[in-house]
Amino acid sequence: MKVKVACHEANHICDKNQYKEASFWEKVKLNFHLIYCRACRKYSANNNKLSKVIKSPKVQSVTTNEKNALKERLAREMSQ
Amino acid sequence: MPSHKIDPTKWVDQYSDYLFNYTIARVNDRDMAQDLISETFLAGLKSMKNFKGEASERTWLISILKRKIIDHYRKSNSKKGKAEVHINYKDEESEGDWLEERVADPFDKTAEDSIQNEELGEAIYRCLGKLPEKQSRIFRMKTIENIDTEVICNEFGITPSNFWVIIHRARTAMASCLQKNWF
């Protein structure tokens, strides 16, 4: 098994890791890659930041139910 | 000048989250924000004829929403009695101290931080709105609604590797957009 991975693969692992879908071995490969690759370190840092920011409780979203209710109301109004 | 088209059937999907975050930062009440948004959409529907296509749909909706928020505060203000200012001193001793001393320390950044945080949702959804539609929908489903990869792949009829490429592009675009407007 080789530990070294190419940048595009490292980025792919990093993306997966944002959703906790990277395996242990993939994480080892990613972290090893990050040791020597400056560009990917930057990408990783930004990516982690993005995940953190989206998870912050200040980011609210409209639930699907609420959206459907809104849509219905609009549709009713449009048909009149 | 390119003229913008208006399409109310897409409003809810495209703008409701952005408008919602915009409102919640200003009224701080979920239910109230919901009401204001649906009022905005209805008002938009009524005055669709007046949409000249000079601004984008989103800008136009925001301008309606702003009026609605102002109206909301006017209404709630007229219900109240006249404004009164009460100053409560913590204890007998501090009575008569300069009011200025009680003003928050300007170097204490927490207040500003919390304002910034409230606008964060807006910034995120503004950036999300700039992505191509497919990217933004997939990114939203995966990241915000936490739907499984498999389910999304089935729904859009794409392979997982295709899916990850889309996610990767969306994340890169989001990061650079937020970098410009936020970080």
Tell me if B30 and A60 make a contact (CB, 8 A cut-off).
Answer: yes
Domain total of chain A: 1
The predicted pLDDT at position A29 comes to 92
The distance of B46 to chain A (nearest Cα, Å) reads 9
Cβ–Cβ < 8 Å for B34, A66? yes
Q: Which residue has the tokens 């970080």?
A: B183
The predicted pLDDT at position B144 comes to 79
Tell me if B41 and A70 make a contact (CB, 8 A cut-off).
Answer: yes
Q: Is B178 on the interface with A (CB under 8 A)?
A: yes
Nearest partner of B38 among B70, B1, B68, judged by Cα: B68
Instruction: Answer yes or no: is A2 within a domain.
Output: no
Q: Which residues span the domain enclosing A71?
A: 7-79
Eight-state DSSP code of residue A62: -
Instruction: Answer yes or no: is A20 within a domain.
Output: yes
Pick the CATH number of B1-82 from 1.10.3470, 2.60.40, 1.10.1740, 3.40.50: 1.10.1740
Q: Is B18 on the interface with A (CB under 8 A)?
A: no
Query: What does pTM read for this prediction?
Result: 0.65
The model's pLDDT over B70-126, given as tens digits with 9 standing for 90+, comes to 888 888 777 665 555 555 656 655 555 555 555 555 555 555 555 566 677 778 888
DSSP string covering B116-180, please? HHHHHHHHHHHHHHHS-HHHHHHHIIIIIS---HHHHHHHHT--HHHHHHHHHHHHHHHHHHHHH
Task: Give the pLDDT band (50/70/90) at residue B1.
Answer: very low
The model's pLDDT over A5-51, given as tens digits with 9 standing for 90+, comes to 899 899 999 999 988 888 999 999 999 999 999 999 999 998 888 88
Q: Complex ipTM, two decimals?
A: 0.76
Q: Residue ranges of the domains in chain B?
A: 1-82, 123-183
A70: three-class secondary structure by DSSP? helix
Instruction: Answer yes or no: is A56 within a domain.
Output: yes
CATH architecture, range B123-183: Orthogonal Bundle (1.10)
